[in-house]
Amino acid sequence: MIRDILEKSIKIALQSLNLDNAKNLVINLEHPEELSHGDYSCNIAMILAKQVSQNPRELAEKIVVEILKNKPIEVSKIEVAGPGFINFYLSPEFFVFQTKEILDLDKKYGKGNIGEGKRAIVEYSSPNIAKPFTIGHLRSTVIGDAIANILHFSGYKVVRDNHLGDWGTQFGKLIVAIKKWSSVPEIRKSETPIKDLVALYVRFHDEAKNESILEDEARTWFTKLERGNLEARKIWEVCVKISMKEFEKTYKRLGVKFDTAYGESFFEDKMASVIEDVKKLGIAKESEGAYLVFFENEKYPPMMLLKTEDVSTEHRASTYALRDLAADKFRKKKYGKDTIIINEVGMEQSLHFQQIIETEKLLGYVNGLDRVHVAHGFYRFPEGKMSTRKGNSIWLDEVLDEAIEKAREFNKETAEIVGVGAIKFNDLKRESSRDIIFNWDEILNLKGDSGPYLQYSHARAKSILRKAKEEGIEFCTKIFGIKIKHNIKKNSKEITDLEKMLYRFPEVVERAGKEYSPHYIATYLIELASSFNNFYGKGKIVDKNDEDSSCKVALTEAFSIVLKNGLNLLGIQAPEKM
């Protein structure tokens, strides 16, 4: 990448000035916010100025003189600006070459070198069986999917895992509720089985407020389930089956797919070996009848592995913490020690993951760098948090329907794609740790910094390409050779803002991958599309009488390719027409 070339030439310049032995020397190259300030900017002179007690601008000038002695061909101009920035201007040849490279972008998918072919498991979505797929699950699904796409693009071998919540005391509650107020045949017959199950779940919590015995019954039923009680298993199976059918529909709408969906129940027989590991290490103790991991210096509160024995079944139920440990042990064994495990789960579970990671480090399952919790904030009502228990959550399907309905007002054919795109982008454009206050107007906004704006821009570019084809304008890669000659002949300095944005795509993806932050891509795409629409606004692109037309069209093609790839990384479809 161009960044590496610049970095190297700065290093060489510093060496010849004997400045390279300074402490903690990091060469920082950034894109100036103002495009007229150049393509890359380096602040090294200002950092070094104090250490060698020189004026930063004078020092910058000296460095520039050294760089110019071995100027990389990609650079056309270097200047010192402001308090001592060294600004690099890239040459027309560079832009032409880069734009040509971009036309092959589709072939580069999965070839990035950041991942080095390592395996990465991205666990996301992970809805709970017999609970609604609410807008709350949207974040994990959409962000996790985007992270998986980005890592794949960057060269990781990605496993997408849906860690279904299909185990735990919640099933005890459900079994009690079904036995008391409904029945398996009744649920099977229902046209809205999930809604019925949710209603039962909510009713359980309502009634448990007055009758605390219900909670005990639920715990007992979960221990029965864990011990293989036939009635419990039967009810559980029905719930899982019904839920999965519903989830499939939602994933299809969202265009999200998984490689594995083990679910918590899968680790049922893999927990005993974890308990053995813990015992060997002596990090857990019995306390008040339960079995918990205690951390050194009370770094974290204790983490429970086994619950108090249930009196009637004489069984100690597992906790989700134990199942998570078992899951990671299994993953490392199955996919190899170098595997990176990433969980896209809400912020509320931060403490849980800190405890899990700490414990897994002690157990030697992970080294710490290979176990990541990507946390996201919540969708919230202005009045407070959503909760299935209280029954005030918003179902995802309703939101999607509403968004599609709104998109239909503009164009019936693409309404589905645009509606879903709007919802996804609205989520992905934000730094994910922040909460999103739920607001229909905001979420359904099809204008401005939005998915539809990007999709529209793509369709528009495609429309130009169709027109160019009709007019018989050549815009294949060989055109770029002509542009180089043309530009050099004219001594043209006319490099468009669009070109200045296009070549940044790989850097942006790299950063998004390193920081597990899809929003960098979202922000970038908005800027990119704005520069395209601005470019487009300045006059005709397809024009037989304009000798630059084929270059402009080729640039349009490069834009459409970058935008499409970017949107795909975010899991958003790029329509040909709108």
Partner RNA sequence: GCCCUCGUAGUUCAAUGGAUAGAACAGAGCUCUUCUAAGGCUUUGAUGUAGGUUCGAUUCCUGCCGGGGGCACCA
* Residues between 348 and 377 with contacts to RNA, criterion CB under 7 A: 348-352, 377
Helical ranges in 70-168 per DSSP H: 92-102, 135-153
Shortest distance, position 166 Cβ to RNA, whole Å: 8
Spatial contact of 386 and 138, defined as CB atoms under 8 Å apart = no
- Interface residue with RNA among 17, 25, 35, 46 (CB under 7 A) is 46
Only one residue has tokens 């906004």, namely 445
Whole-Å CA distances, 67 to 9, 44, 63, 80, 87? 6, 13, 6, 12, 12
Q: Which stretch binds RNA (CB under 7 A): 8-16, 132-140, 330-338, 406-414?
A: 406-414
Is 568 a binding residue for RNA by CB under 7 A? The answer is: no
Task: List the structure tokens of 37.
Answer: 């300030």
Structure tokens, 426: 């609205």
Q: Which two tokens stand for residue 569?
A: 């990384």
323 CB neighbour count, 10 Å cutoff: 23
Residues 140, 154, 169, 560: which binds RNA (CB under 7 A)? 169
H-type helices in 161-212, by residue range?
Answer: 169-181, 184-189, 193-210
Q: Which of residues 437-466 bind RNA (CB under 7 A)?
A: 437, 439, 442, 445-450, 452-453, 456, 459-460, 462-464, 466
Segment (H or E) for 233: helix 230-254
> How many residues belong to the chain?
578
**Given candidates 104, 116, 252, 301, which one binds RNA under the rule CB under 7 A?**
301
Q: Which amino acid is at 113?
A: N
Contact positions with RNA (CB under 7 A) in 96-155: 128
- Restricted to residues 309-348, the positions that interact with RNA (CB under 7 A) are 317, 319-320, 347-348
Residue from 100, 139, 430, 483 that binds RNA (CB under 7 A)? 430
> Counting Cβ atoms within 10 Å, is residue 442 exposed (0-12), middle (13-18) or buried (19+)?
exposed
Looking at 288, 296, 314, 494, which residue binds RNA (CB under 7 A)?
288
> Per CB under 7 A, does 436 bind RNA?
yes
User: What is the rounded end-to-end Cα distance, in angstroms, of the chain?
Assistant: 35
Q: How many residues bind to RNA according to rule CB under 7 A? A: 105
Backbone angles phi, psi at 444, to 5 degrees: -95, 5
Determine, following the binding rule CB under 7 A, whether residue 263 of this chain makes contact with RNA.
no
CB 93 within 8 A of CB 313: no
Residues between 223 and 262 that touch RNA (CB under 7 A): none
Query: Which of 254, 396, 541, 558: binder of RNA (CB under 7 A)?
Result: 541
CA 257 to chain centre: 14
As given in the structure block, the two tokens for residue 232 are 């419990």
Using the 8-state DSSP alphabet, how is residue 492 labeled? -
Least Å distance between CB 463 and RNA? Answer: 3
Query: Residue 384 Cβ, how far from RNA at the closest point, in Å?
Result: 6
- Cβ of residue 557: shortest distance to RNA, in angstroms? 13
Binding to RNA (CB under 7 A): which residues in 476-515? none
Candidate ranges 68-76, 92-100, 151-159, 403-411; the one touching RNA (CB under 7 A): 403-411
Tell me, what DSSP letter sits at residue 35? Answer: G
Least distance from RNA to the Cβ atom of residue 338, Å = 27
User: Judged by CB, which is closer to RNA: 50, or 489?
Assistant: 50
Residue 55 binds RNA (CB under 7 A) = no
Q: Which of 418, 420, 528, 569 binds RNA (CB under 7 A)?
A: 418
Per-residue interface string for the shown chain with RNA, residues 3-42, x marking contact by CB under 7 A: -------------------------xxxxxxx--xx--x-
Q: How many CB atoms lie within 10 A of CB 237?
A: 11
Residue 523 near RNA by CB under 7 A: yes
Considering only residues 108, 118, 380, 500, which one is a binding residue for RNA as defined by CB under 7 A? 380
